[in-house]
């Protein structure tokens, strides 16, 4: 599985801690991690609004399979990611959130709080969240006897979201303030992840045209 980690300006200083925790879980599982957001406070400036654009591009082009994002509370990142087509982002504060999201909702993105509650032992909590989010059978249900309705409801949610976002995805991108999009795609690590892994030439060419 290809996983993108993206962090914005307010919590960029914690990126090495979060990235190390993610790598410690992903590497033994054979997953590939792309650290595509800010990796320090001096890196190119991103807000949680940019993270939504970035996540949607990587997921809709199948450049990655899963996105881990966040901000101070995680709420802004979750709202931003869920605005976009093809993104199903959950909110995660502890390992049980990650486990239940994996088992019940089977989405493709998580938003974490990297300031609220990020105190002593925070790197352990983050690591355990990643373990629960990235292991086990996705969509297995919890409790297991509830699997059938949970899978059905997840499918219905996807259909409802698709019906509300019928425009061509490139048209959706063009309808956004283009300066926002340009800033979102300005990072070298993000561009490398997108251009080397994208399975959608139309979207890729549009992003290249902006650059």
Domain count within the chain: 1
- For residue range 193-208, list pLDDT tens digits in order: 999 999 999 999 999 9
Q: In this structure, how many other beta carbons lie within 10 angstroms of the beta carbon of residue 49? A: 20
Contacts of 152 (CB under 8 A, 6+ apart): none
CB contact burial 87-118 (16+ within 10 A = b; e otherwise): bbbbbbbebebbbebbbbbbbbbbbbbbeeeb
Q: What's the pTM value of the predicted model, to 2 decimals?
A: 0.94
Q: By residue range, what is the domain housing residue 161? A: 2-210
Tokens of 90: 């959950």
- For residue range 181-196, list pLDDT tens digits in order: 999 999 999 999 999 9
The CATH number of the domain holding residue 125 is 3.40.1400.10
- For residue range 73-110, list pLDDT tens digits in order: 999 999 999 999 999 999 999 999 999 999 999 999 99
Contacts of 155 (CB under 8 A, 6+ apart): none
Cβ–Cβ under 8 Å, residues 163 and 124: no
Confidence class for position 167, pLDDT limits 50, 70, 90: confident
């Amino acid at each position: 599985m290809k996983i993108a980690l993206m962090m914005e300006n307010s919590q960029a200083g914690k990126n090495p801690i979060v990235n190390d925790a993610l790598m410690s879980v992903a590497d033994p599982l054979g997953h590939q991690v792309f650290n595509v957001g800010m990796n320090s406070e001096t890196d190119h400036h991103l807000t949680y609004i940019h993270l939504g654009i970035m996540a949607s591009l990587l997921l809709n082009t199948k450049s990655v399979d899963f996105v881990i994002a966040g901000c101070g509370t995680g709420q802004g990142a979750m709202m931003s990611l869920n605005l976009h087509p093809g993104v199903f982002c959950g909110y995660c504060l502890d390992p049980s959130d990650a486990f239940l999201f994996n088992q019940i909702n089977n989405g493709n993105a998580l938003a974490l709080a990297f300031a609220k509650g990020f105190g002593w032992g925070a790197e352990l909590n983050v690591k355990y969240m990643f373990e629960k989010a990235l292991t086990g059978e996705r969509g297995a249900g919890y409790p297991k006897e509830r699997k059938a309705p949970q899978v059905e409801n997840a499918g219905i949610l996807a259909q409802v979201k698709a019906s509300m976002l019928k425009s061509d995805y490139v048209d959706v991108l063009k309808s956004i303030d283009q300066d926002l999009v340009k800033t979102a795609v300005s990072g070298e690590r993000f561009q490398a992840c997108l251009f080397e892994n994208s399975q959608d030439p139309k979207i890729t060419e549009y992003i290249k045209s902006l650059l």
